[in-house]
Structure 1
Amino acid sequence: MAAEPEDAPAVAVTVVRTGGLAGLSRRWHAVGGEESDLVALVHRCPWDDCREDAAAPEGADRFTWSVSAVCGSEERHAELAEHDLDGPWRELVDAVRERARSVPAPQE
């Protein structure tokens, strides 16, 4: 296994929202160091409680949320229906979305 670069973030979280009225996808990504609140938020989420069928939207124009996190050597992924996005999940998604808004887009 290759060693991680010294400047690798302690945590990286990607959130993808799909569905809704237009069926479009939106993506947010945030990274943080060992002392980042993102590390604590990732650990608070009930990753093991996610059901495979949980992402099936109930009703028209609902969102589905895909949350992926790399925290050290641990990788986690969850698919959530809109009604499951509460508690620690909501806190994590809101934190990632807020951080993604505060980072300027890369120059091309």
Structure 2
Amino acid sequence: MDHPQSDDPQRRDANRVVVTVTRTGGIAGRRRLWRAEPPPDDTARWEELLGRCPWDEVAAGGAGGDRFVWAIRAVDDRTREAELADARLQGPWRELVDAVRAAAS
């Protein structure tokens, strides 16, 4: 019996996107973690969100006292990571973090 491509484990892994966001720091120093693993039919939208983020342009920088630091890790056909001070969480980075937080809730 033939199975649809979506039942093929290799096909599923090829369409898999996992994004984790960890926020540390702040006045209380609490650590928060959000994780999104969208269904395969939503992969294109997430790939577009990931593609708009300037992964290669992330410069290390101090967050400053009592500020948040955001660690973002995306795994699709490759693994990308970025660590951003709260002040740098703008534009496509903010959109990606907001999407992960919404998907995780």
The alpha-carbon distance between structure 1 residues 15 and 70, as it changes in their structure 2 partners (threshold 3 A), is same
The aligned residue for residue 86 of structure 2 is: 82
Provide the C-alpha distance between the structure 2 equivalents of 1:11 and 1:79, rounded to a whole number of angstroms: 19
Structure 2, unaligned runs of 5 or more: 1-8
Q: Match of 2:31, as an amino acid?
A: S
The 1-side partners of 2:96 and 2:89 are apart by 10
What stretches of structure 1 of length at least 5 have no aligned partner? 102-108
Q: Which residue of 2 aligns with 1:47?
A: 55
SS at match of 2:103: helix
Q: 1:33-79: per-residue Cα shift (whole Å, max 9, x none)? A: 2643221101110000001x23x212x2100000000122x110000
TM-score (norm. length: structure 2): 0.81
- Matched-pair identity in %: 46
Q: Aligned pair 1:14/2:15, yes or no?
A: no
Distance in 1 of aligned mates of 2:53 and 2:41: 17
The corresponding residue for 1:57 is 63
Aligned partner of 1:68 in structure 2 is 73
Q: Is the 8 A contact 1:11 1:34 kept in 2?
A: no
- TM-score with structure 1 setting the length: 0.79
